[in-house]
Amino acid sequence: MTPPREPLDAVMAFLEPAFRRVDALEGDATIAGECAAHVTGNSRLTPAEQVDIYRRQYWLRHVDALADDYPGVAYLLGEEGFDAFLRAYLLAHPPRHKSLRDLGADVVAFSQGHAFPAALRAVTLEMIAYEHAFIDLFDGAEPPPLDPQKLTSMPEDAWERARIVIHPLLVRRQVRFAVHRLRLQAKSSDVAPLAAPPSEAPANLVLFRDDNQIRFEELDGTAFALLDALARGEALGPACEEVAATLDAEAADQLGAQVGPWFQQWTARRWIVDVVV
Amino acid sequence: MTSKKTPARLGLPDLGVGVGMRIPHYEDLLDHPEPARMDWLEIISENFMLGGGLPRYNLGRALSRYPLVQHGVSLSIGETAPLDYEYLGKLKALLRETKSPWVSDHLCWTGAHGVNLHDLLPLPYTEEAVKHVAARAREVQDFLGVRLILENVSSYLTYTSSAMKEWEFLTAIAEEADVGLLLDCNNIYVSSFNHGFDPREFVDGVPHARVVQIHLAGHTNYGKYIIDTHSAPVIDPVWDLYRQAIQRCGPVSTLVEWDDDIPPFAELCAEAEKARVIRDEVARDAAA
């Protein structure tokens, strides 16, 4: 028989939301009274002051944990704006996962509706999406490496229809702002506050894990388009045709000669994990 | 208080003195050609219940050098929602890898209504809570297939509904669920300051044969209350409690935790060495 749990449930039903309140509990007579019903207090602290210790810890802990994951966003918004964003996020999306690693699970979606300063909105949204990608990349499962035997034994005529399997953790981003460089700047020890909203500086970015470190690389548009088509599951031949169709005649002619070196480069960086015919 | 039927440490090994494995010390612990003079390391289970990447790589390196023991922060044994078997499955998979001789977590609740507060929240010390927690602890221990040991938490509030002392609560759960105890001497001290009880009574009051592991750490005193910050050296009154615990329990695997304002590794080693000296002194006194 399951033992009755009413008092336990009552305590948790009161305290769980109380610990997440924005304002100190002591100033609210109603909630202070409710605290006294569940919590004893002592000669130094009232019941509400005891509960408030946990409330303050709740905000400190979760704001700090999120701040660790989004240093570039902090740099763009400044201390006050960043803190307000994180607190608004936590109010809208209380932590639901066991690990603090997943605390920002809804940050990207939430940021779309947040009122950022107009001049910083586009770069901030791009930075949030960029930094969010680091989380899975950091500790995601590594697939088995590409078997070199597969490449050497592949008949020449099979390459056309071969599907090049891209590393599942590899992230592709076309950005309007140089968020990758801004993030490095934000993490440097002598970072100065942002003087003006960053100018546009489009880039084709690949984020990947190499020797357990996260790295980025900028690709030219054609290489990026081919990698993107391959990652979407296109076979090599159709992927090259798709990319060639977007190029002028001269560039399309050169594409064939470029694919080989790109393939070698991407294989060496372990961006390619399998080739399936 | 040691039961005639219960072997010391529930028959589990005394691993000696260890420290928590924390990132700022990876170079000292994992990169040096020779392993550090540390009997064992404790890992936070949740930090390694992951698919891959750097954490898993470092776990592999640690396993090749030291015995590891898993310590969790997310079991939420006191919560009233059903046990999370997805979490427990991952915990069990990690246990298979680390071969941790036991698994520890806290006697607390960490959330309710689907919200996880990521805190180690105290429970009311009631018969109802004893039955509730003991049933869950037994279920978890059976599922994991290794001994579960529960740690007393630092607390900053007490409940109007509590009907027993904290150590009586801890004892009742450990006996009813047949689980072990992780006695955190710093947590005992912190709670004794915050709630005005004699910490020595706590150490005397637990079933000593069930104490499988001991934690030591520093804290922050804010005047009206103390917070368990793990950000400072162990203070003398906590060392005194440790000595008392070792006198009562015999040699027990001891772990120094330091999680905030983490010092150079040598400073942490010096804290671990203090624990080793106390253990040796108590053993010599007992033999005399």
**Residue B3 in this model has a pLDDT that exceeds 70:** no
Contact A232, A155 (CB under 8 A): no
The nearest alpha carbon in chain A to B54 belongs to A212
Mean pLDDT of B134-162: 98
**Residues of chain A found within 8 Å of residue B115, distances taken between Cβ atoms:** 16, 20, 94-96
The predicted structure's pLDDT at residue A5: 55
**Residues of chain B found within 8 Å of residue A95, distances taken between Cβ atoms:** 111, 115-118
Q: Which of B77, B107, B157 to mutate to test the interface with A (most CBs of A within 10 A)?
A: B157
Sorting pLDDT into bands at 50, 70 and 90, what band is A2? Answer: very low
Q: What is the pLDDT of residues B184-219, one digit of tens each?
A: 999 999 999 999 999 999 999 999 999 999 999 999
A44 touching chain B per CB within 8 A: yes
B61 touching chain A per CB within 8 A: no
The predicted structure's pLDDT at residue B4: 59
Closest-CA distance, A141 to chain B, in angstroms, reads 4
Closest partner residue to A9 (CB to CB) among B57, B80, B131 is B80
**Residues of chain A found within 8 Å of residue B224, distances taken between Cβ atoms:** 44-45
Q: What is the pLDDT of residues B52-95, one digit of tens each?
A: 999 999 999 999 999 999 999 999 999 999 999 999 999 999 99
Mean pLDDT of B119-133: 97
- Window 192-211 of B: residues touching A by CB (8 A cutoff) are 194-196
Helix (H) or strand (E) holding A276: strand A272-276
- pTM of the shown model: 0.94
**Residues of chain A found within 8 Å of residue B119, distances taken between Cβ atoms:** 19, 54, 57-58, 61
Closest partner residue to A3 (CB to CB) among B123, B128, B227 is B128
Q: What is the pLDDT of residues A62-121, one digit of tens each?
A: 999 999 999 999 999 999 999 999 999 999 999 999 999 999 999 999 999 999 999 999
**Residue A27 in this model has a pLDDT that exceeds 90:** no
The nearest alpha carbon in chain A to B121 belongs to A54
The predicted structure's pLDDT at residue B2: 44
**Residue B170 in this model has a pLDDT that exceeds 60:** yes
Q: What is the pLDDT of residues A209-229, one digit of tens each?
A: 999 999 999 999 999 999 999
Closest partner residue to A11 (CB to CB) among B55, B118, B124 is B124
B53 touching chain A per CB within 8 A: yes
DSSP string, chain B: ---SSSPGGGG-----EEEE--GGGHIIIIISSS--S-SEEEEEGGGG-SSSHHHHHHHHHHHTTS-EEEE-S---TT-SSPP-HHHHHHHHHHHHHH--SEEEEESSEEEETTEEEEEEEPPP--HHHHHHHHHHHHHHHHHHSSEEEEEPPP-S--BTT--S-HHHHHHHHHHHHT-EEEEEHHHHHHHHHHHT--HHHHHHHS-GGGEEEEEE---EE-SS-EE----SPPPHHHHHHHHHHHHHH-S-EEEE---SSPPPHHHHHHHHHHHHHHHHHHHHHHH-
Mean pLDDT of B164-180: 98
Percent of residues, chain B, with pLDDT higher than 70? 99
Closest partner residue to B126 (CB to CB) among A7, A39, A213 is A7
The predicted structure's pLDDT at residue A189: 80
CB contact under 8 A, B135 and A3: yes
Mean pLDDT of B111-118: 96
Q: What is the pLDDT of residues A247-259, one digit of tens each?
A: 999 999 999 999 9
Burial class of residue A242, CB neighbours in 10 A (0-12, 13-18, 19+): middle
Closest partner residue to B159 (CB to CB) among A9, A38, A94 is A38
| Mean pLDDT computed over every residue of chain B | 96
Contact B258, B22 (CB under 8 A): yes
**Residue A3 in this model has a pLDDT that exceeds 60:** no
Q: What is the pLDDT of residues A136-156, one digit of tens each?
A: 999 999 999 999 898 888 898
- Window 84-113 of A: residues touching B by CB (8 A cutoff) are 94-101
A13 touching chain B per CB within 8 A: yes
- Window 153-182 of B: residues touching A by CB (8 A cutoff) are 156-162
CB contact under 8 A, B50 and A15: no
| Mean pLDDT computed over every residue of chain A | 94
CB contact under 8 A, B159 and A100: no
CB contact under 8 A, A98 and B51: no
Percent of residues, chain A, with pLDDT higher than 70? 98
The nearest alpha carbon in chain B to A36 belongs to B160
CB contact under 8 A, B51 and A51: no
